[in-house]
Amino acid sequence: MSDSAADRIRPAGPASTATGLSPTEQAAARSVLAGERERTQARIAALQRDFDGIVLSSASGSADDEHDPEGSSTAFDRQHVAALLSQARDQLAEISRAAERVADGSYGTCERCGLPIGAERLAARPAAATCVRCAAGQAAGRV
């Protein structure tokens, strides 16, 4: 996302409405999230094809992963793609929640502390629900 897009999604500026984002910023946020949704849905479709291909190829081969020289590799690939697929689906859910926050006026406000999330974070992670400080606390297990 370019710097100009980050500027368009800046939360709680002087021109903002009571909901935190001006109508222009809301439209920009919706547009960015729609693009994220499209890319994530395409990634899910590609990962699902990969997963289905792995399952199909392992079904046509030996059912004994323990003694098949390719078995452990196939099982690893299957689990790896399944994990990536799960992450992509989680990301799609985060995007949907962010779109709901745009609609209800809470987009750009940290769900934990209530402070603005910041344009740079939203530019990097348009579906972010927390500010950098709260996200760091979550990652460290302190929040």
Ranges of residues in the chain with a pLDDT under 70 are 1-20, 60-72, 139, 141-143
Instruction: Tell me what pLDDT residue 11 has.
Output: 45
What are 59-70's pLDDT values in tens digits? Answer: 766 555 555 555
User: What share of the chain has pLDDT > 90, as a percent?
Assistant: 59
Instruction: Tell me what pLDDT residue 9 has.
Output: 52
Q: What are phi and psi of 21, to 5 degrees?
A: -125, 140
Distance CA 88, CA 43 (A): 7
The C-alpha torsion from 86 through 88 and 93 to 94, rounded to 10°, is 120
What pTM does this model have? Answer: 0.75
Burial (CB < 10 A; 0-12, 13-18, 19+), residue 21, is buried
Instruction: Tell me what pLDDT residue 138 has.
Output: 76
DSSP reduced 3-state for 13: coil
